Structure 1
Amino acid sequence: MKDITLYTQPECPPCKITKLFLNDNNIEYKEKDIKADGKARKELTDKYNSYSTPTVVIDGKVIIGFNLDAIEKELNL
């Protein structure tokens, strides 16, 4: 099982689609809302050098922005 973290924020349509995709494929993930959680926002920018959502981290591999093809590839779907 891969370790997956999804960085999101409210009113982000691509975030919602990414969550639907992961849920439809029965993939477990941790969601971090960068608007509600300042620590998550700092982690996103400092650790992953990302300033946009969704950002998906799969076993340390960072996928910035809405890219279902990259997520599928990383998860071998």
Structure 2
Amino acid sequence: MKDIIVYTQNECPPCKIIKMFLNEYGFSYSEKNIHEDEKSRQELTEIYGSYSTPTIIVGSEVIIGFDLEKIKQVLNINE
């Protein structure tokens, strides 16, 4: 199982949906809220080159924004 990190922020409906989706499929993940943690905000922009949430990291894959099809592909979810 690859590590999953979800970068979120407050008042972000797509962030909530992604977390519900991951929970529904039984994936564990680490959440990093960029509004509450300056270090997480720096990681998001400097390491991953993203300025939006949600940004989902699955192993070496970086998914910027709400891209459910890409997340399903990376996590091998076939429906």
TM-score by length of 1: 0.98
Which runs of structure 1 show a deviation greater than 6 angstroms over 4 or more consecutive aligned residues?
none
Partner residue, 2:55: 55
The CA distance in 2 between the partners of 1:40 and 1:70, in whole Å, is 23
Deviation of residue 2 (structure 1)?
1.0
Runs of at least 5 residues in structure 2 that lack an aligned partner in the other structure: none
The CA distance in 1 between the partners of 2:8 and 2:27, in whole Å, is 16
The CA distance in 2 between the partners of 1:52 and 1:21, in whole Å, is 19
Aligned pair count? 77
The CA distance in 2 between the partners of 1:41 and 1:11, in whole Å, is 16
The equivalences for 1:1-77 within 5 A come to 1-77=1-77
TM-score by length of 2: 0.96
Q: Deviations over 1:17-75 (max 9, x none)?
A: 00000000000100000000000000000000000000000002100000111000000
The CA distance in 2 between the partners of 1:60 and 1:37, in whole Å, is 22
